[in-house]
Amino acid sequence: MLELLSRRWHLVVLRGVVAILFGVIAIAWPAITVLALALLWGVYLLMDGISSIVMGMGRGTDRMYMILIGVLGIAAGVISLVWPHITVVVLLLLIAVWAIVAGVLQIAAAIRLRKVIDNEWFLAITGVVMLILGLLLIVQPAEGAIGLLIAIATFAIAWGVVLVVLGFRLRQLRHHAPGAAV
């Protein structure tokens, strides 16, 4: 997995930048409607899902983590775009389930990498942030669209920053990965 991630470090950074942009835009327009949020979230999930699948392509057994995260992101994105009039509660549960599953998968990937690289905790942090967001959205669904918007935007910015840091760390490690091209 180290070889896969280190060769495609720029996609990790791109995922982080897109997450940060999503969060900033969402906070800049707090009066966004549920329809606009569903569409924006759907587009974000599609982009994130596609980039995760691209990262998972190639050789190696660990690539399935990235492909599964990508498929989940694309499925959630398509659902958000096909049914833009989705209620806040349904959107909240969709995002919560996606965040919980993706968070657990990223934590599992970090645990698997702990013997391979140092600072695998960057990947674990992205998983923990996603897992916490998902659990909070399930526990307090009545907070409303603005609360959801702020939670998602904050999550996206934090997750994006961690992904950017992880991506640049992977860039430094790309020459040390077994089988990595120099």
Question: What is the average pLDDT across 107-136?
Answer: 85
Q: Tell me if 180 is assigned to some domain.
A: no
pLDDT at residue 28, rounded to an integer: 83
**Cα 131 to chain centroid, rounded:** 11
Domain that holds residue 44: 2-173
**Cα 134 to chain centroid, rounded:** 12
| Residue 182 in this model has a pLDDT that exceeds 50 | no
Q: Tell me if 125 is assigned to some domain.
A: yes
Question: In this structure, are residues 159 and 27 in contact, taking their beta carbons and an 8 Å threshold?
Answer: no
- Of the candidates 96, 95, 75, 77, the one whose C-alpha atom is nearest the C-alpha of residue 139 is 96
| Spatial separation of the C-alpha atoms in residues 69 and 91, rounded to whole Å | 18
Q: Tell me if 98 is assigned to some domain.
A: yes
Q: Could you tell me what percent of the chain has a pLDDT over 70?
A: 85
Q: Tell me if 182 is assigned to some domain.
A: no
DSSP state of 119: -
| Spatial separation of the C-alpha atoms in residues 49 and 31, rounded to whole Å | 27
- Of the candidates 101, 79, 99, 100, the one whose C-alpha atom is nearest the C-alpha of residue 90 is 79
Tell me whether residue 59 is exposed, middle or buried, using C-beta atoms within 10 angstroms of its C-beta: 0 to 12, 13 to 18, 19 or more. exposed
pLDDT at residue 176, rounded to an integer: 67
This prediction's pTM: 0.47
The CATH number assigned to the domain holding 46 equals 1.25.40
- Farthest CA pair distance, the chain: 52
